[in-house]
Amino acid sequence: MTDAIDVDDYADVWVFVEEHAGEVMPVSWELLAEGAKLTEKTGDDLVALTIGEAVDDVAAEAIERGADRVLAADDPVFEPYRADPYGAQFRAMVEERNPSIVLIGGTHTGRDFAGRVAVPTHAGLTADVTEIDVDEEGILQARRPAFGGDLLATILCEDHRPQMATIRPGVFEAAGRDPDREGEIVDVDVVVDESDAISDVLERVVGDTADITEADRIVAVGHGIEGDLEPALKLADALDAELAASRAAVDEGWIDGSRQVGQTGKTVRPDLYVAVGISGAIQHVEGMNKSETVIAINDDPNAPIFEHADYAIVGDLFEVCPALADRLTDQRAMEVEP
């Protein structure tokens, strides 16, 4: 049995700032904004964590974006990311400093190492959260969709600390920068050593890390495109839209995973979302149902996406997309001409 702990020994809200080779994942700044809302209610400090090599600029930016304090673990062992050194370092920091709440981006990295902190510290870890709040007693209310989004469950962790959550990217607004903000950067002891590592990154290839969460207009492609992006690109061009995709299109390798919308992808909230050859599985809809207006192009009149669309057309996307793109371009030309 684990020993009972005194929850009053734990304070502060921690936000993990995820970076790879100096590039910060946008969800980190979204979490700083949410973390600030929590500390406003609890009176705690908002603490950012940076784990990496030569991440002074990242630490400074975390202060500008709202952190009161940054805990920086700086060492070559942390670059590139690996679960075992990250987990061990993060765990040591938690055990030494007793945070009450720890927020981590629900990226592949965050969801990879969070358990390596929560398991040995016997913390409560809620995955893939889309809403957070805190009550008067400092109990985190972590809400997450269940069963593909039909239900919203509130998960609590009353007797264990820290209260940890991984949070889905794109759900919250990012914290802005204020160059005049001041805060403290604390260099923490690095407790891990290369000789203890049980994994080894042989190669890392990262190209396009599009941020579709900021787009006002999105053309999303699904399995129906059969590997031919051309019609969708033409439509995206006419609409000045970003390209996104269902998981099926990502799995086929037609489009990069950073553009995936849905439960295991990103949450988007554009003014216009055009779903092209996407069936409308619950896991997909969960990531796009905050869109203002949804248009669906699908040749199956019974596709579930039609229930989640404002306007829909039953037709072959290879005909509809180019025709719609031309029509929109013509309309715009007419507007410009006197």
Partner 1 sequence: MTWTIVVGVKQVPDADEVGIDPDTGRLDRASAPAVMNGPDQHALEAALTIRDQVGGELYAMSMGPPNATSILEEAVAMGCDDAVLISDRAFAGSDTWPTSLTLARAAEALEADVVLCGEETTDSSTGQVPPGIAAHNGWAQLTYAEAVDARPDEDRLVARRDVEGGHELVAADLPVVVAAAFGEFPPRPAPLHRKIYGENDFEPTVWDAEDLEIEDEVGLAVSPTSVGSMETVQPVERKSEVVDDVDDLAAAVEEVFA
Ligand X SMILES: Cc1cc2nc3c(=O)[nH]c(=O)nc-3n(C[C@H](O)[C@H](O)[C@H](O)COP(=O)(O)OP(=O)(O)OC[C@H]3O[C@@H](n4cnc5c(N)ncnc54)[C@H](O)[C@@H]3O)c2cc1C
Is 306 a residue that touches partner 1 (CB under 8 A)? yes
Site for ligand X, residues 237 to 276, rule: CB under 6 A? 246-249, 260-265
Contacted entry of ligand X, partner 1, none for residue 180, CB cut-off 5 to 8 Å set by kind: none
Cis previous bond, 304, omega within 30: no
Closest residue by Cα to residue 245 from 236, 312, 127:
236
Q: Which is nearer to ligand X, 53 or 252 (CB)?
A: 252
Site for ligand X, residues 96 to 135, rule: CB under 6 A? none
Contacted entry of partner 1, ligand X, none for residue 265, CB cut-off 5 to 8 Å set by kind: ligand X
Is 191 a residue that touches partner 1 (CB under 8 A)? no
Contacted entry of partner 1, ligand X, none for residue 262, CB cut-off 5 to 8 Å set by kind: ligand X
Contacted entry of ligand X, partner 1, none for residue 159, CB cut-off 5 to 8 Å set by kind: partner 1
Cα angle vertex 212, ends 129, 102, to 5°?
30
Is 224 a residue that touches ligand X (CB under 6 A)? yes
- CA distances in angstroms from 54 to 65, 169, 224, listed in the order given: 19, 25, 45
Cβ 100 vs Cβ 158: under 8 Å: no
Give the shortest CB-264-to-partner 1 separation in angstroms: 7
Question: DSSP labels for 279-312?
Answer: ---HHHHHHHTT-SEEEEEES-TT-GGGGG-SEE
Site for ligand X, residues 275 to 304, rule: CB under 6 A? 277-279, 281, 283-284, 287, 298-300, 303
- Count Cα atoms within 13 angstroms, Cβ side, for 176: 2
Q: Find the binder of partner 1 among 41, 177, 181, 327 (CB under 8 A).
A: 327
* Piece of 34-42, 45-53, 66-74, 116-124 that binds partner 1 (CB under 8 A): 116-124
DSSP three-state, residue 133: strand
* Piece of 28-36, 45-53, 175-183, 293-301 that binds partner 1 (CB under 8 A): 293-301
Closest residue by Cα to residue 104 from 30, 184, 39:
30
Contacted entry of partner 1, ligand X, none for residue 249, CB cut-off 5 to 8 Å set by kind: ligand X
How many Å from the N-terminal Cα to the C-terminal Cα in the chain? 79
Token match 């009972």: residue?
A: 4
Cα dihedral sign for 82, 86, 87, 88?
positive
Is 125 a residue that touches partner 1 (CB under 8 A)? yes
DSSP three-state, residue 332: helix
Q: Which is nearer to ligand X, 102 or 129 (CB)?
A: 129
Is 25 a residue that touches partner 1 (CB under 8 A)? yes
